[in-house]
Amino acid sequence: MAEPPASPVDRAFDVLRATAAGTGLTLSEIARETGLAKSTTLRLLGALERNDAVTRIGQRYRLGPLVHELDPIPTSPEYERIRRVLTPFLAHLFEATRATVHLATLHGDEVVYLNKLHGPRPIPSPSRIGGGLPAYCTGVGKAMLAFDDQAADRVARGPLVAWTDTTLTSADALAVELAEIRRRRRALDRAELTPGLFCVAAPVFDDDEQGAGGTRAVAALSASAAEEGALARLEPLVTRIAAAAGRALGGDR
C-alpha cells in the first residue's frame, strides 16, 4: 500500500527538524536538506516563525522560543543561586549604563540567559530570559569560554556558523580571541550574532580572587550598544561590576 503524500504538517516538521540539526541554517540550506522548493520552504518558515517555533537572525534560522518552552533548559539550585546573588549587580550595571544588560551562564555549548534588563531604547536582540544562544558569537559566551577549557575545545570542534560578516568561524581565530579575553578579563561582541548589536561582557567567578588563576567562570555580565564605539565607555563599568559580583558570589557559599 502506497504511503499517503506528505501533508503541509509533514513538510513543516521536516523544516523544523532541519532547523534543529544545526546552529543556524539559511533558507537555501533548509530547502536542500528537506528537498522542498525554496518558495515552499519560505512559506513554511514564515508560519513557524509566526508561531515562535523558529527564529530568524540575519539570514539564518534556528529553533525559536516555543521549542524552549516545550523543552525548557533545565533549572538547578546553582542557576538559582547565581540569579539571586547577581541580579542586584545586573541592576547596578543597568543603572550605571542605561543600556540593555544581560546575566548569563553556560549550558553545554550555549549561553543561557538568567536575567535581562532592557534599556530605554532597546536594541533588537534574540536573547531572552531562559533562552539559549551559541556561546562562540556572544560576548557573555566568549567571556565564559575563555575560562572553561573543556567547553572551549568542544565548541571549537563544532561548526562555527557565520551569523554575520564579523562572526569568528575558525577555531584558530576563536582561540586567539579567548586568549585575549583571559588577558584583559573582558570580551567583545562586534555584531557577531546580530547585525548592529554590539556588547562588552566580563566573566564572573565564584570567588573573583581565584579568577586570575584561571578558575572556570560560572557566569557573565554584559551591556549592549548600537555602535562599537560605545563599548570603550561601557568596558570599565562592566568589568568593575563583574568583579564585585564575583566577590559577592564567593561570599555566598
> For the segment 169-180, what is each residue's pLDDT rounded down to a tens digit?
999 999 999 999
Distance from C-alpha of 62 to C-alpha of 49, rounded to nearest angstrom: 10
CA 167 to chain centre: 13
> What pTM does this model have?
0.78
> For the segment 55-103, what is each residue's pLDDT rounded down to a tens digit?
887 788 877 767 666 655 666 788 889 999 999 999 999 999 999 999 9
Q: What is the pLDDT of residue 18?
A: 81
Residue 225, classified by CB atoms within 10 Å of its CB into exposed (0-12), middle (13-18) or buried (19+), is buried
Contact by Cβ (8 Å): 112, 130: yes
* Range with lowest mean pLDDT among 67-81, 128-142, 179-193, 238-252: 67-81
Higher pLDDT, 62 or 230: 230
Percentage of the chain beyond pLDDT 70 is: 89
* Range with lowest mean pLDDT among 18-27, 214-223, 228-237: 18-27
Domains annotated on the chain, with CATH: 8-70 (1.10.10.10), 77-250 (3.30.450.40)
Residue 7 grid coordinates: 501533508
> For the segment 39-61, what is each residue's pLDDT rounded down to a tens digit?
888 988 888 888 878 888 778 88
Q: What is the pLDDT of residue 211?
A: 47
